[in-house]
Structure 1
Amino acid sequence: MERRRFRRPRLRLNVKASIGSQPIGHVLNLTDEGVCLTGRGVPPSQVQPLRLDLPIPLYGQREVAVMATPCWHDYLPNGHWRGGFHLQVDDDAVSLLTTLAGRYGDV
């Protein structure tokens, strides 16, 4: 898989990522176009609908639905994986992700 590096703010919040009702990991950093996740087990290897569960409401929402396309992943010595995903989002999700990264991301 191709590995691309984009400047993404690291989040200071614990945003959980799930496929359906199955948790797969946590968001490390994000933009409105991409996300880096970390988790245990096996990372997603195909395009998946992904739900990001927000620990606090933004614009009255507690979750953001996106389509995630895997771009790369690494396995870490501690048994976790880390992977980058390209996001396909609608206008509402773009607004939520931009606000989330702007308010709670380290630049």
Structure 2
Amino acid sequence: MKLREIAHSRTGDKGNTSNISVIAFNERDYELLRENLTASRVKEYFGDIVSGEVVRYELPTLAALNFVLFGALGGGVTRSLALDAHGKGLSSALLDFDLPQRQEII
């Protein structure tokens, strides 16, 4: 299952740092996000795009996770030669992350 099936994202960027929030559509899916969308998996998912650390913050009352990706924008929006140097492109890519199927409770 793709992350976009159970969550949406918001993003921001400052300098060479991108900030991506992943918000579950339904709070019942928060635990699935929390267990599977770790900082290390996000860093691995982006590979060489993120040269620095990835830090995850949990916001359970919002059913959301916030990731800060250091060294993610090719030097910063005004310095990068990347086609899309903004964090918006990264958040869209993250929504393609593969998650295990959630277990339905009958």
TM-score normalized by structure 1?
0.40
Larger RCO (CA under 8 A, 6+ residues apart):
2
Which one has a bigger Cα radius of gyration? 2
User: Could you say which structure has the higher strand fraction?
Assistant: 1
TM-score normalized by structure 2?
0.40
